[in-house]
């Protein structure tokens, strides 16, 4: 898995200035540690999807969100996807959270990029399989993006049976454990989608991680 340094730096908060040599060395060391310790895993399942006036319905569950409806426009099927970096990622974060604040920030960024890079790999493989049948995949859309409330994570977990199948749990605030886990809707369409990214769909313009 290839991690993008530019994205790690972006997630770390580097925008208007270049990182120094010490920071780059720390990133290199952390990458070696993380890639040697963490094994990502994922699950996904295909469902039918129906457009509603103000959202979508999947397997009898209504997700009220104009942004999700827009993302799944033209789709009559959708993949529900989850990946996790496992409990090892939380162990590493706790270690640096207690011993080295700079490494903690960098490790957070590396794990975020690792989730993205791994999900991109899985999505690309799925896209190649669906393309054999003349179908395309829309960009991933996660619970909590745009106007899709984080509370819908509970319904998402039930539909995909995430805790049973992959061991990721959800607390009362709808936060996942292991923390470096991702859920996403991936629309399946007969029409080749545009290359819109999630930041263009999300209306949270003040997000520190927004791609400009």
Q: Quick one: pLDDT at residue 202?
A: 46
Q: Determine the straight-line distance between the first and last CA of the chain, rounded to whole angstroms.
A: 25
Q: Domain residues of the chain, as ranges?
A: 5-201
| CATH hierarchy code of domain 5-201 | 3.40.109.40
Centroid of chain to Cα 147: 16
Q: What are phi and psi of 16, to 5 degrees?
A: -100, 0
* Structure token pair of residue 37: 């310790």
pLDDT in tens, the chain (212 residues): 889 999 999 999 987 678 899 999 999 999 999 999 999 999 999 999 999 999 999 999 999 999 999 999 999 999 999 999 999 999 999 999 999 999 999 999 999 999 999 999 999 999 999 999 999 999 999 999 999 999 999 999 999 999 999 999 999 999 999 999 999 999 999 987 655 555 554 454 444 434 54
Q: Quick one: pLDDT at residue 206?
A: 47
Is-contact 16 92, C-beta < 8 A? no
3-class state of residue 189 by DSSP: strand
* Structure token pair of residue 41: 């895993």
What does the alpha-carbon distance between residue 68 and residue 47 come to, in Å, rounded to a whole number? 15
């Amino acid at each position: 898995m290839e991690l993008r340094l530019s994205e790690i730096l972006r997630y770390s908060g580097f925008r208007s200035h270049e990182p120094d040599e010490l920071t780059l060395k720390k990133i290199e060391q952390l990458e070696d540690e993380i890639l040697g310790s963490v094994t990502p895993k994922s699950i996904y399942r295909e469902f039918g999807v129906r457009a509603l006036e103000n959202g979508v319905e999947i397997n009898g569950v209504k997700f009220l969100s104009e942004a999700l409806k827009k993302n799944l426009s033209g789709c009559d099927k959708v993949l529900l996807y989850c990946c996790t970096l496992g409990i090892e990622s939380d162990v590493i974060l706790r270690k640096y959270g207690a011993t080295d604040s700079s490494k903690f920030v960098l490790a957070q960024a590396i794990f975020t990029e690792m989730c993205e890079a791994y999900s991109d790999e899985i999505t690309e493989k799925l896209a190649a399989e669906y393309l054999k049948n003349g179908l395309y995949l829309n960009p991933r859309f996660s619970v909590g993006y745009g106007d899709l409330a984080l509370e819908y994570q509970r319904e998402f977990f039930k539909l995909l049976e995430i805790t049973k199948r992959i061991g990721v749990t959800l607390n009362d605030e709808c936060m996942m454990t292991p923390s470096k886990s991702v859920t996403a809707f991936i629309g399946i369409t007969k029409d080749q989608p545009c290359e819109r990214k999630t930041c263009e769909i999300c209306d949270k313009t003040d997000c520190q991680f927004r791609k400009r």
